[in-house]
Every structure is written in structure tokens, then in C-alpha cells.
Amino acid sequence: MRIAINGMGRIGRLLCRRLIGLEGIELVAVNDLMDRDNLAYLLRHDSIYGTLETPLVYRNGTMTVGARNPAPAAGNETAPGMKGTKGTLAVFQQEDPLQLPWKELGVDVVLECTGKFSSKEGAGLHLRAGAKKVLLSTTGSEDIPLLIYGFNQHLLTPETDIISPGGCMTNCATHILYILQSIGIDSAHLNILHSYTSRQELVDAPHKQFRRGRAAAESIIPVEIDLPQSLERLFPLLKDRIAAVSTRVPVANGALADFTVLLKSPASAEAINSLFRTSSLNDYRGILACSDDPLVSLDIKGDTHSCIIDTALTSSIGDHVKIMVWFDNEFGYTSRILDWLYYWKKLLALP
């Protein structure tokens, strides 16, 4: 299965790092407008996940991965490391996806990670350029199927060309709400305590959402999110019964989702934890986990789950419950993207 990435921001670069040498999937190209030496540097050195173990060097339009090149040119030094699959990636700086050589490269799936081409028309430019399929890294427009891995992936058909896997918050919340529906949900309020993101500012600056323009590392900052709209697409019976806000906190990675849910019948904290434990050991294995440890956000860095129930923080007053759920907003989310690639590969019977 041949993969290309369009957009090398936080999610694009982490996917690139994780796809390098991945069995059965070949990353053949990446596209981003940034300086290519700078891109190679940011792939080698990451402030959250550390230095890339696999040697990587950029030269003459390609990245060489997993090979130790003699006497590299200045600025193209090979990163330290001992392991990695040898190979090359084509590197493009093309603003218009229609101009990318996906047909010539035999690209099966484009990972659209810019956030700019999330409509059917925009993502469709990759198909017109010759890619067979497009997988967004965000919640797309309503004319693109919203499919959450572990929830409704079975709705994917071989004929589907573009899908949205939702965002990190949607992937966390969907599974929690679905499992609670076995009891019955009257309403749900969500507060996603989330690390700051690139759509905030390092120092105070103008922004159409005034609070987003405040210095991200200096304040706790509530921001507006479209999570309720995404969840209502997945749970139409909960329309107008879900509210959500994201509270950005001064850490660079990690999130804690605070669910306050009014159930249709009373349930104890023990019964709710038992429900999630059973799910984590069966249908939701690898997607949802439960932890009895007194976790903090740093403890979940690099965790592959979409949601980790902090069982000690589950509480209940009759039919009114609170559930606290951890997730690594980057690593957990990209883990579901990889799940999607393998699922699509199997569905299409690709070698």
C-alpha cells in the first residue's frame, strides 16, 4: 500500500515518523511548503517525542531513510540512530494538490493533513491528481463520510474515495458516549482540557476568537470547538443534548476529557467503571483502556489508545455521573489513522 502525506504539521510529521519502516505500508512522498532542510530537521528532532531513531537525510529532492550516507553536505547531516528501513521519499513543495504526481507514483492513499482541503471538492483534487483514496486528518465537511475507527468503520465500502476519521476529541468522545448509551443518555456536557495547539499564539496577538489570541503558555484558555456538531452526526438521537468546550492549558501535549452526563437511570461509579473495563477487554481492546493509577498528563505521552478512563475519578450522584478520560491528542489519534490504513488495505485486498 503506497502512501503520500500532504501537509507536514504536527500530525503529518508524526505520521511520517511512524510510517517509516512500517510493515505492509510504504510511504513514498510528502508535500509541504516549508523549506525542505527545515522539514528534515523537524522530522529528526521533535520536542515532544524526541530524536528520530532512524537515520534520515534530505538531498536533491528526496529524503533517504535508514541509510548512513558518507560525508553529507552541510545542513544535511544524518541524524543519529542505528535502525530503520532503507528507502527514499519524494519531497514536494506544491501548493496545488492537482499538480502533485500521485498517478506517476502509484499512490493508493493520500493522508490530507493540511486542514485546508477538508471539503469533498478540496480533497477530491488528490483523486484528480491520480490518488485512489484520501484520508483526512480532521473532521471534514458534511458531504464526506465521518467514520470513527472502532465505532462505525464497517460502513466503509471499497467504492468510498474520501473519508474523515474525525479528530482526536471526536475519537475520544464517540466511544465514551456509545458505551454509556447502554444505560441511556439524557444529556452530556464535555470539557476537553487540552494542550495548546498551533492555532493559538505564542504571545498576545489579534485573532477572530479573542481568547485564542492570548499567549498559549501563560493562561488557561477556553476556546470554541465544533465537537457537538460532529457528535450529533454520529448520534442523531442526541441532537441538542450535547454541549462542549475545550479548555487549553499550558502544556505541549496531552488531554483530559471531563464528561458530565445525565443518564436515563441511576448508575454507581463502580457499575460505570465495570462497563468500561469490560469494553476495554473486548470490542474496544486497543482503543479504550482503564487505569487505576493516579495519572497526570505526562504519563499518557505516547499512549496509543483514543481514551483512557481514570477509574479513581469516576463519580456518581444518582443518574448524574462524571467520567475523566485521558488521551494523547497526537499519538493516540495517529494510531487510529494507522488502523484505518490497515483496514482500508485489507478491504481493498492490496498486497
Whether the Cβ atoms of residue 145 and residue 332 lie closer than 8 Å to each other: no
Stretch 241-248: mean pLDDT: 97
Name the active-site residue from 16, 168, 290, 307: 168
Q: 135 has which bridge partners? A: 111, 163
- What pLDDT score does 61 carry? 81
Q: Are 104 and 173 in a shared domain?
A: no
Give the C-alpha separation, 335 to 5, whole Å.
15
Measure the CA–CA gap between 177 and 150, rounded to whole angstroms.
Answer: 13
CATH of the domain at 60: 3.40.50.720
The residues near 70 (Cβ < 8 Å, ≥ 6 apart) are none
Q: Is the dihedral of CA 165, 247, 116, 54 positive or negative?
A: negative
Decide which of 133 and 62 is more confident.
133
Residue 191 lies in a domain: yes
What are the two backbone dihedrals, phi and then psi, of residue 75, each rounded to the nearest 5 degrees?
85, -10
The pLDDT value recorded for residue 171 is 98
Is residue 333 domain-resident?
no
For residues 96 and 122, what is the distance between their CA atoms, to the nearest angstrom? 10
Is residue 192 domain-resident? yes
AA letter at 200: Q
Rounded Cα–Cα distance for residues 334 and 167 (Å) = 10
Structural domain count, the chain: 2
**pLDDT tens readout for residues 254-269:** 999 999 999 999 999 9
C-alpha cell at 324: 475523566
273-321 pLDDT, tens digit each: 999 999 999 999 999 999 999 999 999 999 999 999 999 999 999 999 9
pLDDT over 70, % of the chain: 94
Please report whether residue 162 resides in a domain: no
User: What pLDDT sits at residue 72?
Assistant: 35
C-alpha 285/C-alpha 122 separation (Å) is: 35
Query: Is the pLDDT confidence value at 88 over 70?
Result: yes
What pLDDT score does 351 carry?
76
Can you give the pLDDT at residue 67?
A: 54
**Cα three-residue angle 313-316-317, rounded to 5 degrees:** 145
| Same domain for 299 and 236 | yes
Residues 127 and 172 in one domain: no
Is 125 in the same domain as 218?
A: no
| 3-state helix vs strand vs coil in the chain, percent to 5 | 30, 25, 45
Taking 50 as the threshold, does the pLDDT of residue 77 lie above it? Answer: no
Same domain, 17 and 73: yes
Q: How confident is the model at residue 74 (pLDDT cuts 50, 70, 90)?
A: very low
Is 183 in the same domain as 102?
no
Instruction: CATH number of the domain at 277, please.
Output: 3.30.360.10
Backbone angles phi, psi at 45, to 5 degrees: -125, 120
Task: Judge whether residue 185 has pLDDT over 60.
Answer: yes
Of the residues 90, 121, 137, the one at which a domain ends: 137
pLDDT score at 166: 97
Domain that holds residue 301: 168-328
What distances in angstroms separate CA 293 from CA 173, 257, 299, 313, 322, one per listed residue? Answer: 21, 17, 10, 10, 18
Please report, in angstroms and rounded to a whole number, the separation of the first and last CA atoms in the chain: 7
- Is there a single domain that holds both residue 107 and residue 242? no
Q: Are residues 56 and 133 in the same domain?
A: yes
Per-residue pLDDT, 70: 36
d(CA 149, CA 171): 8
Tell me if 160 is assigned to some domain: no
**Residue 207: inside a domain, yes or no?**
yes
Task: Report yes or no on 154 lying in a domain.
Answer: no
What percent of the chain has a predicted confidence (pLDDT) above 90? 88
pLDDT in tens, 190-220: 999 999 998 899 999 999 999 999 999 999 9
Whether 208 and 73 share a structural domain = no
pLDDT of residue 86: 53
Question: How far is residue 276's CA from residue 308's CA, in Å, rounded to a whole number?
Answer: 10
Task: Decide if 143 is inside a domain.
Answer: no
Query: Do 115 and 202 fall into the same domain?
Result: no
> Annotated catalytic, 172?
no
Pairing of strands 87-92, 62-65: antiparallel
Query: Do 187 and 294 belong to one domain?
Result: yes
Within 118-268, residue ranges assigned H as helices are 120-128, 168-180, 227-234
Q: How many whole angstroms separate alpha carbon 37 and alpha carbon 241?
A: 48
Task: Please state the pTM of the whole predicted model.
Answer: 0.92
**Average pLDDT of the chain to the nearest whole number:** 92
Find all residues with CB under 8 Å of 79, minimum gap 6, and list them.
Answer: 44, 45, 51, 52, 54, 55, 56, 57
Q: Is 202 found in the same domain as 64?
A: no
Mean pLDDT for 176-194 is 97
